[in-house]
Structures are given as C-alpha cells and as structure tokens.
Amino acid sequence: MIKHPDTDYIDPLDIDLKEHPVHCSHIESEPNSLPWYFDIKRYLESGIYPEDATSNQKKSIRCMALNFFLNGEVWYWRTLDLGLLRCVDAAEAVRLIEQIHAGVCGTHMNGLTLARKVLRAGYLWMTMENDCCKFVKKCNKCQVHGGRIRVPPHELNAMSSP
C-alpha cells in the first residue's frame, strides 16, 4: 500500500437531523378514525395535501403515492417485485392479526413472525410490526407457553430409536 501524502484527505460528513417525522412512517394510531392511507388517497384522487403538511411531508406523500394502486374501492401497495399488498385500516388489521395468530396460517408465533405471515398473506398497514408485537404480548397462551418446545412422547421414542 502507498501512503497518501495528505493527512486530512477524508472530508467530514455533515449530518442533518430532521425535527419532524416523515408523514406516514411515524403513525401511532389512526386519527379521526380515518385509514392511515387517507392523505395519500386524497392526494391521488384530487391533488389535495393536508392543511398542516410541511414541504417535507408533501414530498413524502408524493413519493409514497407512486407505490399505491387503486382497484375499484380497494387500495393496494405495489412492492418492489410488482406484487400487490392490500392496504387495510385498523379494524381490519385487528381481525387479521387475531385470525392469523390463532392458527389459520399456523400456530401461535412471536410478533415479528406474525407480521411476516400477514405480509405473505397479502396485507399491509404502516404499524404492522408494532401492532403484532403488542398483540402477542397480550396473548395469554403465548405468555404461558412461550419458550417451551413440546414434543409428544410417541415422537420422542421415534427420534431416539435408530
């Protein structure tokens, strides 16, 4: 290797911290019982932004709107591989979590695995991982039996024999 003649040849990086979160990435709950994609839907239908939106939030809405697709009354999110995930509101999200966690798509699982199963089932909402983790923490069966691997006795005998 050759030593570079300048001692300060790496320029320092300037990092800007934003004080306001991006429009939809920091949603805790749905305000005024409107779906999380309401502002994007309104922008796509009529070109109207929320009244209190900053310029960064308007830019974020425009960028996010590129990935949405409307089929009749159903909103879809277009993934990178051009698949479509159905956008659901909070009420439908709760129903989906309960059904998928209870065994429709497998048995009880942790929050992140549950979120991945919801994605594979073709659904999306912005607070999916957080909602799934909260749901699993409240699930009585998961808290009682969590961390235990149960193998029926007849399978133990089959595994130990050659």
DSSP 148: -
Q: Residue 17, exposed/middle/buried by CB under 10 A (0-12, 13-18, 19+)? A: exposed
C-alpha angle 64/124/92, rounded to 5°? 125
Total domains in the fold of the chain? 2
- Hey, how many other C-beta atoms are within 10 angstroms of the C-beta on 61? 20
Q: Does residue 5 or residue 136 have the better pLDDT?
A: 136
What span, in angstroms and rounded, lies between the C-alpha atoms of 155 and 136?
28
Q: Which domain holds residue 134?
A: 88-146
Q: Is residue 25 very low, low, confident or very high in pLDDT (cuts 50, 70, 90)?
A: very low
Question: Is residue 27 one of the residues assigned to a domain?
Answer: yes
Lowest-confidence range among 14-18, 70-74, 116-120, 144-148? 144-148
What span, in angstroms and rounded, lies between the C-alpha atoms of 113 and 96?
14
Question: Is residue 123 one of the residues assigned to a domain?
Answer: yes
Q: Are residues 68 and 94 in the same domain?
A: no
Q: Are residues 108 and 140 in the same domain?
A: yes
Q: Are residues 58 and 95 in the same domain?
A: no
Question: Is residue 71 one of the residues assigned to a domain?
Answer: yes
Q: Is pTM beyond 0.75 here? A: no
Question: Is residue 38 one of the residues assigned to a domain?
Answer: yes
Q: In what order do the strands lie in the sheet with 123-124?
A: 68-71, 74-78, 84-87, 123-124
Q: Which pLDDT does position 42 carry in this prediction? A: 87
What span, in angstroms and rounded, lies between the C-alpha atoms of 56 and 64?
12
Q: Are residues 72 and 92 in the same domain?
A: no
Question: Is residue 142 one of the residues assigned to a domain?
Answer: yes
Q: Is residue 123 very low, low, confident or very high in pLDDT (cuts 50, 70, 90)?
A: very high
> Mapping DSSP to helix (H, G, I), strand (E, B) and coil, where does residue 140 land?
helix
pLDDT tens sequence across 56-67: 888 988 888 888
Please give the average per-residue pLDDT across 75-103, as a whole number: 87
Question: Is residue 56 one of the residues assigned to a domain?
Answer: yes
Q: Are residues 73 and 96 in the same domain?
A: no
Give the chain's mean pLDDT. 76
